[in-house]
Amino acid sequence: MANPTAHPLYEEISLKHVTVRRILDIIILFLQLSLLVYRFFNLNNNGFTWLLAFLCELWFTIDWILSLCIIWTPIDYKTYPENLINQVAELPAVDMFVTTADPVLEPPIITVNTVLSLLAVDYPADKLACYVSDDGCSPITFYSLVEASKFAQLWVPFCKKYNVQLRAPFRYFSVKPISSTYESLEFQQEWGKMKEEYEKFCQKVEEAHKLVPSNLSADYAAFKDIESKNHPSIIKVIWENKNGFADGLLPHLIYISREKRPNMSHHYKAGAMNVLTRISGLMTNAPYMLNVDCDMYANNPKIVLHAMCLMLGLKQNESNCAFVQFPQMFYDELKDDPFGNQMVIGFEAFGLGMGGIQGPIYAGTGCFHTRQVIYGLSPSNTDINGKLMKEVLEQQFGYSKKFTKSVSETLCGLEEKTFCQDSVLSSIEEAYKVSSCSYERSTGWGNKVGWFYGSATEDVLTGMRIHARGWKSALCMPDPPAFMGCSAIGGPEFMIQRKRWATGVSEILVSKHNPIFVALTSKLQFRQSLAYTWILMWGIRCIPELSYAVLSAYCLITNTSFLPKVNEAAAMVPIALFLIQYIETLVSYLRVGLSVRAWWNNMRMSKINAASSQLFGVLGVILKLLGLSETVFEVTQKDQFTSNDEGNSTKADASVFTFSDSPIFVLPTTLLLLQLTALVMAFLVLQPPAHGGHGAGLLEIMCSIWVVLCFWPFLKGLLGKGKQGIPVLTKLKAAGLALIFLHLSKRVSMV
């Protein structure tokens, strides 16, 4: 363990610009409250549009107050891996989990690059094991991993010999070989040979669909006549580090495809993670676990050391750290982030902000977990001694005696002594048992231990339940970034991803896991519960946003108002509120190196998202509550882009907003048509006479213009063709809804 008198493993960093930001935040809150007071005292003199605006603005104010509770006391950490190496005699073991679900949407070449980057990290090979969960049960994926293990025997030594920083080969070979240290002829020759080997490896993976079905050897016999959603478990030890030396060639590499049956619930990614936890508990039983999505390669070779600095350092300082989360970042992001995928601002503001409470949320990937915590341990009972009761273990963890023995050793603090004592192959038979569909029946898996079930965003739910036991977490943002992945591109893929997020957080919000209820009966701190509430309201936030957007069109169509006239002093309040809020966010984007265009793209995509994927996600949860349907976990398409010249045209095409015939595009198109109709009526003076001098004014016109600008991709889509154009049927549906709204608006205004 670390020496407390030696150099620190980490330190807390004070953040700049916090004071200025707090002042602006308070000014914004003051303006919001002022607008609410103004509306409240003028409700009797105005119509229902003012009441609706008041309710929306009340929501926005509450939402702002909750966000201030999160960001008010940010905490950042700086880690020192070199101190860890010098102070810790024996580094703890880590089991690394990679999850993939569909070989078509998540091509195996992406998965194997992630695996290769993990196998090559700067950490003792005998302390690492990599488990790949293939929920698609694809022989192509398995074949690709077998070939990856062969290539890794060349790749890993090359990376460590020349201190390569980019250890995902598809990224490393996408740039020219630049090395200030190794410019020797030897390096250039080895670089050329390695690139040639990688190209051969890629060709094998790309042609795997031709080779594997016709050449099912003994290793592939288990995949014969397999159905992806109806098959027994398949577990293969692809590579075993038999030497057990720190400088061994490669860590363990194990392929897992858990059993699936049509009449059994598989609980999506959470179920896969629980199977990985049980199998790894049998085979290696490392005290720490890393989980990454198949597209999130290790971008920083010292990433495990960075995580252990916080895990061991915070433990040394008795901070009860359960997991260390690294931000989700994306490689070769399209210029100016046209789809609003970069989450740098969110992690900086809310990730560091929650660090000042109980810690950031678990984001589902790029996270190091403590096995004891995943097994349900609380900070108050970390001093478990002796053997745990057999009946209790079986009730919570299942009937496998070998697995419950490893659980007992882990909870009693003996897990470091048991890592890799036996061959991983000796646990294969028991691994099949704990990966079966029926194993979790009548146990605590998904409810009291492991990853929690009940939401499409199992990560947020699992992290919240860990915090509810009194644990803390930490956000680590090293340089270079820890993990890099590929983001959703194109309109349909973006919508699918955001819809899944909206569905998941809304499911938690309306369930027994609502953070306000949880805080009353657990150790979830009050501010932390407010932080989780703010996050879980992300889905239903679309309702007031949509209502506010529709108000401007309604008021122009009916010649009514929901904002003060520009010649009134009160008009300065919403104008100042609008300008200060957007200027503050713009400054935040510029401060982290993002462009003005990137800021604008993120702003408009948040509005498009509210009118489409967020709303559909919320509607899906409502239908689920009514018993009319079940929510569906949808996997997003993963694509690789590289920074070489050959990929420029592809990347340029990818930056264009595309459409499909999905009903998710109908409402945004309807909203745009309403705004255009309202503006035409206002400019051509086709509105009915105003009642009592409360007609629509300049501010309502400006609001409609702002909405049109936010939905600019849809405006282009009205005239576009192919995938860049809105389908004719979607236009007809949207036009029909717009006409219905226009008719109802006129009827209501006549009442």
Active site residues: 135, 459
- Residue of 302, 323, 278 whose CA lies nearest to 133: 278
Q: How far is 183 from 164, CA to CA, in rounded Å?
A: 13
Q: Where are the beta strands (DSSP E) in 418-561?
A: 472-475, 483-485
- The number of residues in the chain equals 751
Return the sign of the alpha-carbon dihedral for residues 376, 380, 382, 384: negative
Chain Cα centroid distance, residue 117: 20
Residue 422 annotated in ligand binding: no
Q: Which helix (H) or strand (E) holds 370?
A: strand 367-370
User: Helix, strand or coil for residue 100?
Assistant: strand
Q: Where are the beta strands (DSSP E) in 143-192?
A: none
Question: 480: cis peptide before it, omega within 30°?
Answer: yes
Task: Determine if residue 102 is labeled as part of a ligand binding site.
Answer: no
DSSP string, 625-656: HTTS------PPP-----SSGGGHHHHHHHTS
Torsion of CA 446, 451, 457, 462, to 10 degrees: 100
* Backbone Cα Rg of the chain: 28
- Cα–Cα dist 410/397, whole Å: 13
Q: Is 383 annotated as a binding residue?
A: no
User: How far is Cα 131 from Cα 279, in angstroms, rounded to an integer?
Assistant: 9
- Determine the Cα–Cα distance for residues 434 and 268; give it in Å rounded to an integer: 17
Dihedrals φ, ψ of 289, to 5°?
-135, 135
Exposed/middle/buried for residue 470 (C-beta within 10 Å: 0-12, 13-18, 19+):
middle
The beta-strand segments (E) located in 394-457 are none
3-state SS of 231-260 is: ECCEEEEEECCCCCCCCCCCCEEEEEECCE
Query: Residue written as tokens 């290793």?
Result: 219
Known binding-site positions:
106, 135, 269, 293
Known binding-site positions for UDP-alpha-D-glucose:
106, 135
Known binding-site positions for Mn(2+):
269, 293
